[in-house]
Each structure stands twice: as C-alpha cells, then as structure tokens.
Structure 1
Amino acid sequence: MPRVSRKQAELNREIIVEAATRLFRERGLHGISVVDVMGAAGLTHGGFYGHFDSKEALAKEACTRAFTQSMERWKQKIDANDNRVSARTSIIAPYLSAANRDNPGESCPVTAFAGDMCHETAESGLHQTYTQGLEALLQMLTPLMGSDQPQANRQQALVDYSLMVGALTLARATRGNELSDEILDAARHFLTSQGESV
C-alpha cells in the first residue's frame, strides 16, 4: 500500500479531530470508541495510532477544539453588538434554544463534557483542558455584566453560566416532554429580563 503524503496525513488528522469533537459532544467522552471516531471520519480504525498515542490524547485535543469553536462563536456575537445588554442576550438566547438542545454535536462543551469531568481526577490533562476552557468562556461573559465592580461581575457571570448549563442539561435530559421547553423558556426569560437591570 502506498505511503500517505504528509499533506494527506495532516488532512486526515484534521478530519479525525473534527469528527471526534462532534461525537464527543453528542455522546460524551467515554461514550464512543476509536472505531466510532474513525468511522465518522471515513477512515479505517487501523490508522488511528499513526495520529494519536491514545484515545485520551484525541479526547484532549477534541476538547480543546470544542472550546476554541465556542469562544470564536461567542466573540462573533459580542463583536456584532454595540452594548453589553444586547451582547449578553445574543449569547444567552441561542444557548437556551430548542435548536441548541437538539444539536449537541455543535453545542457547548461545558455542558457536553461536564458529566465526564466528574470522573476525571483534578490532575488529568483532560480535566485541566476543560477547566481552562470553562474559565476562558467565563472571562468572555464577565464584562457583559452590569456592575462597575469586577468581583460582582465575576459572581454574576458564574451564576448566569451555571444557570445556562444547568438548564440546557435538564432540557436535554427531558427532551420529548413539554417540561424540556418549559425549562429553556423559563431560564431564557429570567436571564434576558434580568440582564436589562444587571
């Protein structure tokens, strides 16, 4: 069999990471196998170890990619608005939407990976990647709060994001029941109406 060129190898690696990023968000970091990832990438599973030392190494890179994608989306939303209230709403409203609930493969890694992180040690590279990603998103959300006190803004961002993640998690867990929509609607209404006075 002919040897794959460096360019093709780089492309294959990119395809694998993209496939893993989507699958891990959809089914959790421990809910898929190397065979699943390579199948989604359209490649044979035998080639996996030519790109990654382990599934954990791929999971860490996919986790980093998912957070980078979320940060880029948030930055675009913030940059497209001319005040903090509309910028904050532009993040919250789509986050707490039925479309976001129903498409976890393109959604927030904080929600997608939270359950898995509960079983990781604090020292694991994956846990550290997750924590750093969460902190980066919080740092983007914090300036959108309304106080002139940085610590008060930090506290409000922690509360808001915790509510967003919790509501999205519960909405996914109850998908197919009217309760799911109720949870999303209640959290979205609370946060967006609160934002006008924060």
Structure 2
Amino acid sequence: MPRVSKAEAEKNRAVIEQVSARLFREQGFHGVSVADLMGAAGLTHGGFYGHFESKDALAAIACARAFEESEARWRKRVADAPDRAAALSALIDGYLSARNRNSAGTGCPVAALANDVAREADDKPVRAAFHDGVEQLLDILASIQPGDDAGAARAAALAQMATLAGALMLSRATMGTPLSNEILAAARASLLAGVQAA
C-alpha cells in the first residue's frame, strides 16, 4: 500500500481534529470511540496512532480547536459591534439563542464539555486545554466590560460566563419542553439588563 504524502497526512490530521471537536461536543469524550472518530473522518481506525499518541491527546487537541472556533466567533461579534455594550449584547444574544442550544457540535465548548472535563483526572491534558480556552473567552468578555477597573471587569466576566454556560447547559438538558426556552429567555433578560444598567 503506498505511503500517504506529508501534505495528505496533514490534511487527514486536520480532518480528524475537526471531526473530533464536533463529536466530542455532541457526545462527550466517552461517548465516542476512536473507531467512531476515524469513521466520521472517512479514515481507517488503524491510522489513528500515526497522528495521535492516544485518545486523551486528541481530546486535548480537539478541545483547544473547539475553543479556537468559539474565540473566532466571539472576536468577530466584538469587532462588528460599534461599542462595548453592543459587543456584550451581541455575545449574550448569540450565546443564549435557540440556534446555539440546538447546535452543541459547533457551539461553545464550555457548555458542551464542562461536565466531561470535570470527570477527567487532574493530569489529563484536556484539563489544561479547557482551562486555557475558558481563560481566552473570559479575556474577551472582560475586554468589553464598562469602565477601566480590570478586577471588576474580570469579576463581571466570570459571573457572565457562569450564567451563559449554566443557562445553555440547563436549556439543552430540558430541550423539547417550554422550560428550555424559559431558561434562555430569563438568563438573556437578566444579563442584558446588566448591560443596559452599566
């Protein structure tokens, strides 16, 4: 069997990372096998270890990739807004939307992966990837808070992140019931009221 070129190997690895970032958000780390990941990538199971040393290593890489996707979306919303308040409102509206709730595979990894990461051992590489990703999103949130007090901005960003992710997780867990939409609406109204009061 002919060897795969370096360019093709890099392309295959990128596809595995992309598919893994989606499937892990949809089904969790333990809900997806290596065979599932490789099959979804259109590759054979045997090729996995030519790209990654373990599923744990891939989980960390996929987690980081998922955060990169979210960070890019957040930065675009901020860049497209005329001011900090509008940027914060745009982030809140986008995050607490039915579209985001219904799209776990392409949505924020905080809400999709927090429970899985919490169950991983402290030495698993995905914990560091998750921590770094949360910090990146917190930095964006803190940068659009009113005023110039960095400590107050971080505290506000922490509270907002907890509300956003918690509301999205609860809304997903109750999807298909009126409560799901109520949770999104109540969290959105509460956060937006804080933006308007600032």
Tell me the TM-score normalised to structure 1 length: 0.97
Deviation for aligned residue 1:123: 3.3
Residue 88 (structure 2) pairs with residue 95 (structure 1): no
Residue 46 (structure 2) pairs with residue 46 (structure 1): yes
What CA distance in whole angstroms lies between the structure 2 residues aligned with 1:148 and 1:65?
31
Query: The residue matched to 1:106 in structure 2 has which SS?
Result: coil
Query: The residue matched to 2:14 in structure 1 has which SS?
Result: helix
Contact residue 56 and residue 124 of structure 2 kept, 8 A = no
What CA distance in whole angstroms lies between the structure 1 residues aligned with 2:123 and 2:54?
18
Deviation for aligned residue 1:122: 3.1
Residue 14 (structure 2) pairs with residue 14 (structure 1): yes
Gaps of 5+ in 2: none
Deviation for aligned residue 1:130: 0.5
Aligned-pair identity in percent equals 47
What CA distance in whole angstroms lies between the structure 2 residues aligned with 1:197 and 1:104?
31
Deviation for aligned residue 1:29: 1.7
125-134 vs 175-184, greater mean Cα deviation: 125-134
What CA distance in whole angstroms lies between the structure 2 residues aligned with 1:43 and 1:120?
27
Residue 139 (structure 2) pairs with residue 149 (structure 1): no
Deviations 1:101-135, CA, capped at 9 Å, x for gaps: 00101100111110012112333321111111101
Gaps of 5+ in 1: none
Alignment of 1:75-86 (within 5 A): 75-86=75-86
- What number of residue pairs does the alignment pair up? 198
Contact residue 138 and residue 161 of structure 2 kept, 8 A = yes
What CA distance in whole angstroms lies between the structure 1 residues aligned with 2:9 and 2:58?
15
Residue 115 (structure 2) pairs with residue 136 (structure 1): no
Deviation for aligned residue 1:151: 1.1
Residue 167 (structure 2) pairs with residue 164 (structure 1): no
What CA distance in whole angstroms lies between the structure 2 residues aligned with 1:197 and 1:156?
13
What CA distance in whole angstroms lies between the structure 2 residues aligned with 1:125 and 1:8?
27
- For 1:56, the equivalent position in structure 2 comes to 56
What CA distance in whole angstroms lies between the structure 2 residues aligned with 1:32 and 1:87?
36
- For 1:193, the equivalent position in structure 2 comes to 193
What CA distance in whole angstroms lies between the structure 1 residues aligned with 2:35 and 2:26?
16
- 2:169 corresponds to which letter in structure 1? T
What CA distance in whole angstroms lies between the structure 2 residues aligned with 1:116 and 1:38?
21
Contact residue 71 and residue 137 of structure 2 kept, 8 A = yes
161-170 vs 139-148, greater mean Cα deviation: 139-148
Deviations 1:138-184, CA, capped at 9 Å, x for gaps: 01101212233221111111111100000000000000100000000
RMSD, aligned α-carbons: 1.0
Alignment of 1:173-192 (within 5 A): 173-192=173-192
Contact residue 142 and residue 156 of structure 2 kept, 8 A = yes
144-153 vs 65-74, greater mean Cα deviation: 144-153
